[in-house]
Amino acid sequence: MALIPLPLERLLRQLGKLPGLGPRSAQRVALSLLQKPEALAELQRNLADVAAQLGICEHCGNLAFNGRAAPVCEVCANPARNTGVLCVVEGVADIWALERSGVFTGRYHVLGGVVSALNGVGPEDVRIPQLVKRVRTDEVQEVILALGASVDGQTTCQIITDRLMPQGVAVSTLAKGMPVGAAVDYLDEGTLSLALAGRQRVA
């Protein structure tokens, strides 16, 4: 007889694939939930709600509430945001971090990753073509590249800069006060505020 029931084994495998969870962490999470049936039931409801009610913003790639006719996130739906300035980020968590800083009033563009030769991720595998099209059609005046200071992040910045140069749009990066190797969503609000205020034009 198998020591771990098959449904639990499948759950452990799935949890173990999540960022920050290895096999042992997945086991602790699963056993904790099994010991609290009410917590497991609430988690099931929350996961079902997220699957049913959340989508991807058709403009920027941010998370969006599906209650609207077309999925549009809160930032893109806000008429008070500056449509002439786009902040390019790797993922949704970076938007949350920048919004906590409270200093950026423009809109965002989520790439959904960065270009990485080692991982076989090219410029067409992230949302760079959509960014170029958006800059052209939305009459964007400035693009702020808020990507991490890793090699892949800087490579992606250079590719975007090269593709946007023919558009005549100003391209800037966050101030170099960002620690080397740092990811945007790990920076505190003060560091992000200074980085945004001290951004440097690259094209």
123 within a domain of the structure (yes/no): yes
Position 68 in a domain: no
Does residue 38 lie in a domain region?
Answer: yes
Q: Are residues 85 and 29 in the same domain?
A: no
Q: What is the mean pLDDT of the chain?
A: 87
pLDDT of amino acid 53:
86
| Token representation of residue 5 | 């029931």
Q: Are residues 35 and 100 in the same domain?
A: no
- Judgement on whether residues 33 and 104 belong to the same structural domain of the protein: no
Collapsing DSSP to helix, strand or coil, 131 comes out as helix
Domain span at residue 121?
Answer: 81-201
Question: Looking at the structure, do residues 129 and 29 belong to the same domain, yes or no?
Answer: no
Q: Provide DSSP, 156-174.
A: HHHHHHHHHGGGT-EEEE-
101 lies in the same domain as 161:
yes
pLDDT at 158 > cutoff 70: yes
* DSSP string over 88-111: EESSHHHHHHHHHHT---SEEEE-
Rg (CA), the chain: 20
Q: Which of these, 196, 178, 175, lies nearest to 87 by C-alpha position?
A: 196
Q: In 18-169, at which residue ranges do the beta strands (DSSP E only) sit?
A: 54-56, 63-65, 85-89, 107-110, 142-145
Do residue 34 and residue 93 come from a single domain? no
Number of independent structural domains in the chain: 2
Question: Is residue 178 in some structural domain?
Answer: yes
39 domain residue, yes or no: yes
With respect to residue 99, please indicate whether it lies within any of the assigned structural domains: yes
Question: What is the CATH number for 85?
Answer: 3.40.1360.10
Query: What pTM was computed for the model?
Result: 0.78
- Using DSSP's 3-state secondary structure scheme, residue 189 falls into helix
Exposure string for 15-31, b = 16+ CB within 10 A, e = fewer = bbeeeebeeeebbebbe
Residue 117 lies in a domain: yes
d(CA 154, CA 183): 12
Using the Cα atoms of residue 168, residue 176, residue 63 and residue 26 in order, give the sign of their dihedral: positive
In a domain, 137, yes or no: yes
Same domain, yes or no, for 92 and 44? no
Of 199 and 38, which is predicted with more confidence?
A: 38
Convert the pLDDT of each residue in 67-103 to its tens digit.
656 689 999 999 999 999 999 999 999 999 999 988 8
